[in-house]
Amino acid sequence: MKIKTATLGYPRIGKNREVKKALEAFWSGKIASESLLETVKEVEEANWKTQLDTGIDKIAVGDTTLYDHILDWTFRFGLIPERFQQFSGLERYFAMARGKEEIPALEMTKWFDTNYHYLVPEISNEVLTADWSDFIERVTRSQKILGKRAIPIVFGPCTLLRLSKLEVNIGKAISVLIPLYINLLTELKSLGITEVQIHEPALVLGDANNWKQHYQTVYNSLSNVGIPLNLVTYFDDLGENYSWVMDLPVNAISLDLTRGRNLELIKTYGFPKDKRLGVGIVDARNIWQIRPEEVIPKLETIKDIVSEFEMQPSASLQFVPYDATREKQLPEPLRNVLSFAEQKLQEVVFLAQKITVCDSECNHESLTNINRNNDQDQSKFDANKLTVTRYKKDQKSIETAWEEFRRFSPTNQKVQQQLKSLITKDFERNLSYDLRRSLQISLPAFPTTTIGSFPQTSEVRKLRVRYKRGEISQEDYQTAIKSQILECIKTQEEAELDVLVHGEFERTDMVEYFGQQLQGFAFTQNGWVQSYGSRCVRPPIIYGDVIRTQAMTVDEFIYAQSLTAKPVKGMLTGPVTMVNWSYTRTDIPRQEQAYQIALALRDEVTDLEAVGAKIIQIDEPALREGLPLKQEQWNQYLSWAVDSFKLSAGIAKPETQIHTHMCYSEFGDIISHIERLDADVLSIENSRSNNETLYELTDGGYSKQVGNGVYDVHSPAIPTSEQMLSQLRTGIANLPVQQIWVNPDCGLKTRRWEEVIPALKNMVSAAKKLREEANLTKGD
Ligand code: GLN
Ligand code: ZN
């Protein structure tokens, strides 16, 4: 029996970020739309050919996008909010993606628990005419290149609705959508398409059970078209919904076997005889090569239970970069165990072949026994041996690569020992908040500060690039950074802020900056993945024990503090954010990786204190977004996430004021965990959420100080003192005066100095006004 292979989507930004570059050229008027579309086509066809050449049997097509594939489906189905209806074509599309003049874009939010962001559809009563001709063009073109291998991806109606802002009831929305989907599927059928993937990742969410009826209604209707449907899920297991999902009238169901407990569900409940299983066994969310000794036993279990299955990645490969072999500057033992999209395709084919070969050539039961019998001590039975035997024909066996990597990857006894000997006390500050507060720095009421970064002008960016390329000496670079710090401190003094920052000019990225100085992190040259639209990120790779070998932020702090009598904050990136924005190891839990980073930060905290820092901020913008998809797993995550933060801050003296910052957080349901962070001051995004975040905190009775983001740093508008005053008054109404700080929403790095200077001056004058009104000069 030959096992077929499939994909569920591919990176679409281009191997050299061609689409990103074309988009930006188009937006700035440098190229015409035809040229942009041509680039997208070239990238798309190159992607198809790669998959074809690797031998993938069923190649998913149609996920290529100009900005976001969810927006594409919103657009195709005519789900156009009124404010965009005045535009047409690409102008409309990009207005929805990015806004246009006064018209705000669709809201952008995180795609499940990934670092990709999609545009949230808004569905009202009025639906314009659907037009999916671009999709059909894509599909027919793919048929010319791929023939029967072309399998269109259609975004599932239930997930579309589940993720939308709905102004109509779900039933009504479904009745509008069903005929559209039927027409689309009918058209695909008439093109000779043999199967369609319908992606319904919302089936793994905790609330999928509430949607059971909708799924049943939708799929009962769609099955009438008579085109085979593969219902594709990913990112987690089907949980309690497994049984009824198995009963939906589709031909195949794809499950993620890399996350959650889908395998257990299959073992417990079986798999329907009349359906095919899409085995998402190659992890599409991380960059490690498969470990056959882990993967093969899973596949063997599946083979025993499921009569027909296909091998595939666990999700779209859009979450990994294109090609690991290009990372020539990485040490070979590391590069050899990395697997980006191209390698993952090979793994899928490899696994399908091995399973097939094994099936016809040998009886692995007896092979297992031979190995076992050869080994005197059965408990020492080594799965590696088994797989090595089985794959001995491979040029360089996967196991050897892993073996070499294990020898190469940094392990550190000291950090492992430290982790083992952690005690509760290590996670706690020496004194409780109430007791330590009076020992900490005394500041005016409504103290003013910023979140850390100041404008990253093109001058600053060029400086860093030239330094990286070796065009300027370290000394010249440091002098130039110092002059930025000097200017930044001067500006803050002129604005009369109370707590200053050095400006973060030496940092391209808040995770990269620390990762580059820590052992155990690696950085790619071409490992770009799409974050949203044209924005790409290169996530660091944690590949060994994390160790701090030298102070990371102390020099900049010392210099900044030497320039002013006001307190300067030491600025660190927290352990949870470091982990959540990196590709992590799979040989030890994420928790352990976060603790290792926390230990490194602990040393940094101590070093900062030693050179006089009275205030240290440990940013955790990614803490909330790391929440698991199923609420029943939240506590487990929050427990270690909060502990990691506490481990990094617990070492601080009671006199040191610890700040943390989180952006775009909804705290309502996790307030007790936020309290448990035990940060003296928490600064939050506030101005775009209409104070909702603040109310969530105050309703929850938050007891520590809050930096109430008084203006939106993502907008170029300069907020007036009155606007900020009114924002602050809301804060006062809800919190004791002593708890209130005054600061912008987030870091100022994307803004220009011309915007920042007046905005901060206005912010300070708002704080002063409040102090006068309240007749307060001291915080307590
Ligand atoms: N300190 C960082 C900055 O100001 C925080 C950024 C963030 O929250 N994402 O840039
Ligand atoms: Zn922020």
Mean pLDDT, to the nearest integer, of 407-430? 95
Mean pLDDT, to the nearest integer, of 732-753? 91
Contact 192, 151 (CB under 8 A): no
Closest CA to 173 of 186, 182, 185, 164: 164
Phi, psi angle pair for 416, to nearest 5°: -65, -40
1-24 pLDDT, tens digit each: 689 999 999 999 999 999 999 999
Q: Is 673 a catalytic residue?
A: no
Confidence of residue 388 (pLDDT cuts 50, 70, 90): very low
Contact 310, 1 (CB under 8 A): no
pLDDT at 689: 65
Q: Which of 355-359, 367-371, 636-640, 729-733 has the lowest mean pLDDT?
A: 367-371
Confidence of residue 519 (pLDDT cuts 50, 70, 90): very high
Dihedral class, residue 582 (left if φ above 0, else alpha if ψ from -120 to 50, else beta): beta
Q: Residue 732, Cβ neighbours under 10 Å: how many?
A: 16
User: What atom in ligand 1 is closest to the CA of residue 571?
Assistant: 1
Q: Give yes or no for residue 429 CB within 6 A of ligand 1.
A: no
pLDDT at 549: 96
C-alpha 583/C-alpha 324 separation (Å) is 14
Closest CA to 681 of 606, 617, 760: 617
C-alpha 61/C-alpha 759 separation (Å) is 47
311-325 pLDDT, tens digit each: 999 999 999 999 999
Phi, psi angle pair for 65, to nearest 5°: -145, 160
Q: Give yes or no for residue 453 CB within 6 A of ligand 1.
A: yes
pLDDT at 563: 98
| Radius of gyration from C-alpha coordinates of the chain | 28
pLDDT at 357: 56
DSSP 28-71: TTSS-HHHHHHHHHHHHHHHHHHHHHHT-SBEEES---SS-HHH
Q: Could you tell me the distance, in angstroms and rounded to a whole number, from the CA of residue 570 to the centre of ligand 1?
A: 13
568-593 pLDDT, tens digit each: 999 999 999 999 999 999 999 999 99
pLDDT at 273: 96
Higher pLDDT, 392 or 454: 454
Q: Which fold has domain 443-774?
A: TIM Barrel (3.20.20)
User: What atom in ligand 1 is closest to the CA of residue 451?
Assistant: 4
Choice from 115, 499, 576, 619 to test ligand 1 binding pocket (greatest atom count within 8 A of CB): 619
C-alpha 510/C-alpha 503 separation (Å) is 12
Burial 540-566, CB ≥16 within 10 A → b, else e: bbbbbbbbbeebbbbebbbbbbebeeb
Chain mean pLDDT for the chain: 92
Q: Is 374 exposed, middle or buried (0-12, 13-18, 19+ CB in 10 A)?
A: exposed
Q: Give yes or no for residue 749 CB within 6 A of ligand 1.
A: yes
Checking if the pLDDT of 779 tops 50, the result is: no
Longest dimension (CA), the chain: 87
pLDDT at 381: 31
Q: Give yes or no for residue 571 CB within 6 A of ligand 1.
A: yes
Mean pLDDT, to the nearest integer, of 410-434? 96
pLDDT at 373: 36
Q: Give yes or no for residue 625 CB within 6 A of ligand 1.
A: no
pLDDT at 780: 45
C-alpha 180/C-alpha 174 separation (Å) is 10
Q: Could you tell me the distance, in angstroms and rounded to a whole number, from the CA of residue 661 to the centre of ligand 2?
A: 6
Mean pLDDT, to the nearest integer, of 325-338? 96
Contact 721, 772 (CB under 8 A): no
DSSP 641-679: HHHHHHHHHTTS-TTSEEEEEESS---GGGHHHHHHT--
Q: Could you tell me the distance, in angstroms and rounded to a whole number, from the CA of residue 503 to the centre of ligand 1?
A: 10
- To the nearest 10 degrees (0 to 180), the angle between helices 262-269 and 292-305 is 30
Q: Which residues of 234-275 form beta strands (DSSP E)?
A: 252-256
Displacement of CA 725 from its chain's centroid (Å): 34
Q: Give yes or no for residue 80 CB within 6 A of ligand 1.
A: no
> What is the enclosing helix (H) or strand (E) of 305?
helix 292-305
β-partners of residue 117 are 110
Higher pLDDT, 365 or 605: 605
| Closest ligand to Cα 685 | 2
DSSP 678-711: --SEEEE--TTTTTHHHHHHHHTT--SEEEEE-S
pLDDT at 776: 60
C-alpha 586/C-alpha 593 separation (Å) is 10
Q: Which of 180-189, 280-289, 589-598, 656-665 has the lowest mean pLDDT?
A: 656-665
Number of H helices, E strands in the chain: 29, 22
pLDDT at 632: 93
338-384 pLDDT, tens digit each: 999 999 999 999 999 888 755 444 444 433 333 333 333 333 333 33
For ligand 1, atom 10: residue with the closest CA: 747
pLDDT at 49: 97
| Residues comprising the chain, all counted | 780
For ligand 1, atom 3: residue with the closest CA: 747
Mean pLDDT, to the nearest integer, of 186-193? 98
Checking if the pLDDT of 500 tops 60, the result is: yes
Q: Give yes or no for residue 6 CB within 6 A of ligand 1.
A: no
The catalytic residue among 69, 117, 673, 714 is 714
What residues does the ion ligand 2 have nearby, CB within 5 Å? 621, 663, 746
Report percent pLDDT > 90 for the chain: 83
pTM for this model (two decimals): 0.93
Mean pLDDT, to the nearest integer, of 285-290? 97
For ligand 1, atom 7: residue with the closest CA: 621
User: What atom in ligand 1 is closest to the CA of residue 507?
Assistant: 10
Q: Residue 42, Cβ neighbours under 10 Å: how many?
A: 14
pLDDT at 700: 80
pLDDT at 127: 83
